[in-house]
Structure 1
Amino acid sequence: MASTSQQPLSSFPSRTYNTKLKLPPTNIVRDHNRDRASHGQTGASNHLNSISEEQREEISEAFNLFDLDKDQHIDYHEFKVALKALGFDLPKNNIVNLLTSHGTSQPSQAQGHGKSTNTVPLSRPLLSFPAFQSIAAKLIAERDPRDEILRAFELFDMDNKGIINLDDLRRVAQDLGEGLEDEELIAMIEEFDLDGKGGVGREEFVNICMG
């Protein structure tokens, strides 16, 4: 995971382009339907089993990226930014409650631990990787698919214009290793640009992915 502001394009798997030229859809709705089918199951392992392998890898990458001192535990600040990297910007009180209910006391061998105590309860609970994995898997499994589709839209719409235009599709095609000519990309936009604004808007993108 290279940064907190942008996830790799592989996070939103696309269907192979063909001569019919479809805007690269995601697996969001498929995964959401699978999650709903398994929703009757209980327990952390079932949440973990209900998400995709790519999502499990993203959870691991987020934890490893923000476990700054590599002690296999994260504190309040590291937990907050790791969740944000996964698309969850939770309020402070939610973060504290999750740490309190899922965290463990600071390991005794970690005296002099470099983690900041600012805004963290005096007990300084730290979150292990299994606990973080359990929390993140539950959040992902219960996420509204529309929210994740909009995250995918923001990934494509690099300049926050509100539409995916030709320049955006050129970049996406290049990043996905698709050898598409401008004529093909223009045809793709024209197929889904219902009001002639020169690009695919948010609602059009949602309808494509949910369709």
Structure 2
Amino acid sequence: MASTSQPHSSFPARPFNNIRNPPTTTAFAQSQPALALRQKERLSKDTQAQAPAPAMAPPANAQMNILSDEQREEINEAFVLFDNDKDQRIDYHEFKVALKALGFDLPKPEILTLLTTHGIPPDTAARNGIRDPNIPPGRLLLTLQAFQTIAGNLIAARDPRDEILRAFALFDTDDKGMITLEDLRRVAHELGEGLEEDELRAMIEEFDLEGKGGVGREEFIQICMG
């Protein structure tokens, strides 16, 4: 059913056709419901988010430079959020959950390989000038700059369909295969956004191409891909 209301920006209006412009940097990210997407992606907790953030290092490589400001911000926020002891280093476990918050659930061998390549010894050893090659990878630490490099490479190499489906799943939490009016209500409520019922309904009507009462995965992908 077509809507006679003014166009809404609840779903991406602009096409994005490469990995450097995922939904979080399109019109979707600038809409009210998309704020929920950003918040849920970061898996943030109020008490942790309030902690003082370390000074952000400049982008570590060319890959970071081609990411959007929002993508760089998300990388930095993930590092700060999961640097539990706020020592500006993250260990194996902090690294794993920080990557998971960004959408990358890597297996243990891959995590250890990245630590071997980019990690540094614990501060105590570093201060003593010890560079023991026998330190197990699981004990190595990552600086913010190293994390930026790793996360930047992963984001830049991500398939845009994966990013779109990840965004879709954050609305369709019960895996029913579509984003419904109730999903939009929930997102608006969780975020405390004062969206009117008719506005939420119009968002669904505008993009429900088959008149089934919700926006399906393929519809969502087509909208995002332009």
The alignment's TM-score, normalised by the length of structure 2, stands at 0.67
User: Which residue of structure 1 lines up, in the alignment, with residue 145 of structure 2?
Assistant: 130
2:183 counterpart of 1:168: yes
The residue type paired with residue 200 of structure 1 is V
CA 98–70 in structure 1, closer or farther in 2 if over 3 Å, else same: same
Q: Secondary structure at the match of 1:164?
A: strand
3-state SS of paired residue (1:84): helix
Q: Is the 8 A contact 1:31 1:52 kept in 2?
A: no
Q: Secondary structure at the match of 2:158?
A: coil
2:88 to 72, 75, 79: 72
Residue matched to 1:48? 64
C-alpha distance in structure 2 between counterparts of 1:165 and 1:145, whole Å:
23
Q: What is aligned with 1:20?
A: 7
Deviation at 1:136, TM superposition (A): 0.5
Cα distance change, pair 138–176 in 1 and its aligned pair in 2 (3 A): farther
* Alignment correspondent of 1:96: 112
Aligned residue among 8, 13, 16 for 1:29:
16
Q: How big is the shift at 1:161?
A: 2.4
Q: Which residue of 1 aligns with 2:214?
A: 199
* 1:189 and 2:204 correspond: yes
Tell me the SS of whatever aligns to 1:32: coil
Indicate how the Cα distance of structure 1 residues 20 and 70 shifts in structure 2: closer, same or farther if over 3 A, else same: closer
Superposition RMSD in Å: 3.0
Task: Choose the corresponding residue for 1:105, options 116, 121, 124.
Answer: 121
Aligned length: 178
Deviation, 1:190, is: 3.2
Aligned partners of 1:176, 1:22: CA distance in 2, in Å? Answer: 18
The separation in 1 between residues aligned to 2:151 and 2:137, in whole angstroms, is 24
Partner letter of residue 152 of structure 2? A
**Deviation readout 1:114-164 (Å, 9 max, x if unpaired):** xxxxxx926721111110111001111111111111111112223332210
Deviations 1:52-83 (A, max 9, x none): 11111111111111111111111111110000
| Equivalent-residue separation in structure 2 for 1:71 and 1:33 (angstroms) | 31
Q: Specify every segment of 5 or more residues in structure 2 that has no aligned partner in the other structure, as ranges.
A: 23-58, 128-134
The answer as to whether partners of 1:28 and 1:148 remain within 8 angstroms in 2 is no
Judging changes above 3 Å, is the alpha-carbon distance between structure 1 residues 168 and 44 closer, same or farther for their aligned structure 2 residues? same
| Paired letter, 1:64 | V
SS at match of 2:173: coil
Q: Distance in 1 between matches of 2:61 and 2:9?
A: 36
Is the 1:31–1:51 contact (alpha carbons within 8 Å) kept by the matching residues of 2?
no
Unaligned ranges ≥5, structure 1: 1-17, 36-42, 112-119
Residues 7-49 of structure 1 show CA distances to partners (whole Å, capped at 9, x for unaligned) of xxxxxxxxxxx703354228782663569xxxxxxx9521111
Mapped pair 1:141 → 2:156? yes
Contact 1:59 1:86 in 2 (8 A): yes
Alignment correspondent of 1:58: 74
Give the Cα separation in 2 of the matches to 1:179 and 1:73: 40
Letter matched to residue 141 of structure 2: L
CA distance in 1, matches of 2:119, 2:83: 14
